[in-house]
């Protein structure tokens, strides 16, 4: 069986987050940068729900890249940050060792920039190992839309599998009968999935008559004709 036909599961995949740092984000033009941060943090929260082994790597933090998004670090407050000098994470032995220690063949990748750090890591890992690379397109960004798109195409031509963050979340969940992760997944959807999350809130309160998840305690004042 072609292993790429296997769905992502909480037991067959791991996540690497590459260089989600301010200076790298400043250069992103392929996606709105606030959307990029939203998607990346959502992906990280998704991984935490399912206990997906997660590696966080950074480049030249003190010299020019700056510190990893605090919203991302808060998802994994105890995670080590694997600092590098090389733009290619595969060049750093700490990164290779961390991925190998996780023992998962399917590597979900989110990083900056798509055409440099993501691409070099993906091609090098594929060349040296039997890892499978799942590139999270909407939790990665390039210096232009063309740069991002061409990098995604180049990677896909050699077997990298393109995915989106919400696709990964729902693939890990797979079945709404899995109640142990149901509520946490719905919380991520509500907070990060835009219209889909709004729809979930609407269905819970207006259709199922659940209480609002807001802590608002103010009165609702009835209409008064002027």
Are the beta carbons of 164 and 137 closer than 8 angstroms?
A: yes
Q: Which of 42, 56, 117, 133 is catalytic?
A: 117
What string of H, E and C letters represents the secondary structure of the chain? CCHHHCCCCCCCEEEEEECCCHHHHHCCCCCCHHHHHHHHHHHHHHHHHCCCCEEEEEECHHHHHCCCCHHHHCCCCCCCEEEECCCCHHHCHHHHHHHHHHCCCEEEEEEECHHHHHHHHHHHHHHHCCCEEEEEHHHCECCCHHHHHHHHHHHHHCCCEEECHHHHHHHHHCCCCCHHHHHHHHHHHHHHCCHHHHHHHHHHHHHCCCCCCCCCCCCCCCCCCC
Distances (CA, A) of 55 to 189, 203, 224: 23, 36, 57
Is 132 a known active-site residue? no
| Active-site residue list | 117
């Amino acid at each position: 069986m072609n292993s790429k036909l296997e769905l992502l599961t909480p037991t067959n995949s791991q996540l690497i987050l590459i260089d989600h740092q301010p200076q790298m984000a400043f250069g992103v033009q392929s996606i709105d940068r606030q959307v990029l941060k939203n998607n990346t943090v959502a992906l990280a929260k998704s991984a935490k729900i399912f206990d997906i082994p997660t590696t966080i790597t950074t480049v030249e933090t003190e010299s020019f890249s700056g510190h990893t998004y605090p919203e991302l670090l808060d998802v994994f407050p105890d995670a080590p940050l694997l600092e590098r000098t090389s733009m290619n994470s595969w060049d750093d032995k700490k990164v290779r060792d961390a991925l190998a220690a996780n023992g998962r063949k399917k590597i979900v990748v989110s990083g900056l920039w798509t055409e440099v750090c993501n691409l070099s890591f993906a091609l090098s890992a594929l060349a040296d190992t039997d890892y499978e690379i799942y590139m999270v397109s909407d939790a990665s960004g390039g210096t232009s839309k063309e740069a991002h798109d061409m990098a995604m195409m180049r990677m896909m031509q050699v077997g990298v599998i393109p995915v989106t963050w919400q696709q990964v979340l729902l693939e890990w969940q797979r079945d709404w009968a899995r109640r142990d992760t149901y509520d946490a997944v719905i919380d991520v959807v509500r907070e990060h999935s835009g219209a889909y999350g709004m729809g979930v809130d609407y269905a819970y309160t207006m259709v199922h008559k659940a209480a609002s998840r807001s802590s608002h305690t103010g009165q609702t004042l009835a209409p008064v004709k002027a």
